[in-house]
Structure 1
Amino acid sequence: MTNTFHTVTVESATEAYVLSRGKARFLSIAQAIRAIRTLMPACMLTDHELEEMLAEACIAHGVPVAFDLTTAGVSETRLHS
């Protein structure tokens, strides 16, 4: 019996996360980044890079997105659909 394990890339993890949230009212960028960092603790991308990657996947799949990531002491929520 042979077990095959697929390599999970950051790109595939963001895509899978967005697709898993397709029925939600919107995708929270902050929550998505926490989930990806939990799944991939060695991820070298910045939060901003992950935010861009998630936003691109949301646009591609028509998932509304909340840009609710707190950066540099700024707490502003922007909703886009």
Structure 2
Amino acid sequence: IRVERHAFGGVFQAGVDVNLKDKWLVNFDVKKLWFSTDVELDTTGALGTPAGFKKIDDLDVDPWVVSIGIGKKF
């Protein structure tokens, strides 16, 4: 089984920087990703099937990515 490694998809992103004392800041960021790729089965050597990879399913990936950071401006 192999999963196609190249896919395109959409991303939604929102975030905010909060300035603190002495040029310090806190950052909060949220991203939502969407993409789909193919799952294929290697049929080489199976009886009665053509050699090569055959698509057997779609893999939908749609995670939320949340991050918090701290930084200092120079």
- Give the TM-score of the pair, scaled to structure 1: 0.23
Name the structure where strand makes up a greater proportion of residues: 2
Q: Say which one has the larger Rg.
A: 2
Query: TM-score, normalising length from structure 2?
Result: 0.24
